[in-house]
Copies of this chain bind each other. A is one copy, B any other.
Amino acid sequence: MIFVQTIIDFTATQGLSGPSLWLATTPETVDVDRGALVIAGVLLSLITIFIASKVGGEVCSRINLPPVLGELVGGVLIGISALSILVFPESGAQASDSLIFKLMELGTPLPPEIAESIFESQSEVIDVLSELGVIILLFEIGLESDLKELIDAGVQATIVAVVGVVAPFALGTIGLIYLFSIPTIPAVFAGAALTATSIGITAKVLAELGQLSSKEGQIIIGAAVIDDVLGIIVLAVVSSLAKTGEVQIVNIAYLIISAAVFLVGAILLGRFLKDYYVGLVNNMKTRGELLLTALVFCFALAYIANAIQLEGILGAFAAGLVLAETEKRPDLEKQIVPVSDVLVPVFFVCVGAQTNLNVLNPAVPSNREGLIVAIFLIVVAIIGKVVTGFTVFGQPGINRLAIGVGMIPRGEVGLVFAGVGSASGALSASTEAAIIMMVISTTFLAPPLLRVVFQTPEPKSEAVSSNSVNSEPK
């Protein structure tokens, strides 16, 4: 609408074709409506992203895998590793590498420098939408978390969570430094990516097995919730370390203190202000009063977290946790779903589209290290979580193996680590790909492994399983 004003006149160097020929004011001159081309590119990118996310998600859901995995794989298929429909300038791609851009240029070829400028603008908009997607995702996770539940899940869940964060982080980081001679910062990043269990994936797998309300299920879910918070703090600490480029005690202390002060401060302030917030919303008479005020709060905390050198997503998560404590939570959870359905796939598909899986091609000798790192990360990811079950005490007869295996799937947060790490320049392409391989593998392996360790003898549990896949919350 607005930057349509940026109209650039230039003399066409190539012949014009299509209806624009006879609509052009003079045959030699074309008005490039820059704004209309950027919006056209964004529309085509969003169409591609939505189709990739839905095709991938539906295929995965039909073969009993989490849809989020399908969005990632869908992204890989349309991205730089395969079809090159959606590519980004950051990977060295140009407008001419993008199939979307080729389609836009069908009728009216553009001079290269204008094409590059439009291609960059369009990619930048998709980047920001993807970033807003992960902010909304963490806001939603915060909203679905429950401070009281975290406290009720108690000591058992906390121990499982802490061990499940420390063990894979220590094993992974130390192993990468000493076995693979990887520098400290990328090793810390890869180790950190091993920490957070995916609440969504875990809960879904437990529901499939009818184990959500068992004692094991309760401990797993409680631990996964705590895990998620720990993982986000670890992410904030690690990515800030990567940004400043050095591991300094004063930095670590500053970050841990600011993360703690920020999270605790936001929650305490939120508790203090929440009655005023609910009162304000109840007094508002116009449409969107709940959603927009919640997003103002979410974006404000994301901005503050950003401004004090933490990650924006930590602020979004804190905003979700605070608003989860108000009576508006059920309404807000309902209203955030469509926004999240639209924006979150942009994030996952973009992560996939930017993953250059060619770095894991074993035919190229220099790639083999990445593959070996991936295998190492997968082994550590499994061992580091399986041990957690054996820390449970005072629960005779509990299925310790099931608890550990239940913590195996990594998901959103692991991918966030890969994305943030790669974006900040801390992770090499092969290590990033190895992390994504680890996320994909743990997500693939967990459902069948869980089925084995829960040893479901009744054949009807098979039916329950396939039913609950179909009844996944929409």
Contacts and interface: CB of A to CB of B under 8 A. Distances in A.
A54 interface: yes
Contacts of A350: 1-2
A38 B128 contact: yes
Nearest to A303: B43
Give the 6 A-B residue pairs with the shortest CB-CB distance, closest first.
A288-B341, A4-B423, A57-B286, A67-B286, A335-B338, A43-B303
Nearest to A316: B43
Contacts of A336: 338
Interface string A243-275: 111100011001000000000000000000000
A395 to B, nearest CB: 34
A70 B286 CA distance: 11
A54 B285 CA distance: 10
B425 A342 contact: no
Given A19-B309, A243-B31, A306-B39, A474 B4 contact: no
Contacts of A121: 121, 124
B423 A5 contact: yes
A109 to B, nearest CB: 15
A474 B23 contact: no
Given A292-B53, A300-B47, A470-B285, A42 B1 contact: no
Contacts of A123: 3
A99 interface: no
A296 interface: yes
Interface in A269-308: 284-289, 291-293, 295-296, 299-300, 302-303, 306-308
Interface in A35-62: 35-36, 38-40, 42-44, 46-47, 50-51, 53-54, 57-58, 61-62
Contacts of A43: 299-300, 302-303, 306, 312
Interface string A1-17: 11111110000000000
Interface of A: 1-7, 19-20, 22-25, 31, 33, 35-36, 38-40, 42-44, 46-47, 50-51, 53-54, 57-58, 61-62, 67, 70, 88, 90, 107, 121, 123-125, 127-128, 130-132, 134, 243-246, 250-251, 254, 284-289, 291-293, 295-296, 299-300, 302-303, 306-309, 312, 335-339, 341-342, 345, 347, 350-351, 354, 419-420, 422-425, 469-470, 472-474
Contacts of A470: 285
A244 B25 contact: yes
A296 B47 contact: yes
Given A43-B312, A54-B286, A288-B337, 5 more contacts: A2-B130, A3-B423, A47-B300, A288-B345, A291-B341
Contact of A125 (B35, B124, B250, B287): B124
A20 B251 CA distance: 11
Scoring A1, A19, A245, A284 by chain B CB atoms within 10 A of each residue's CB, the highest score goes to A1
A6 B90 contact: yes
A46 to B, nearest CB: 6
Given A1-B350, A293-B54, A423-B5, A39 B288 contact: no
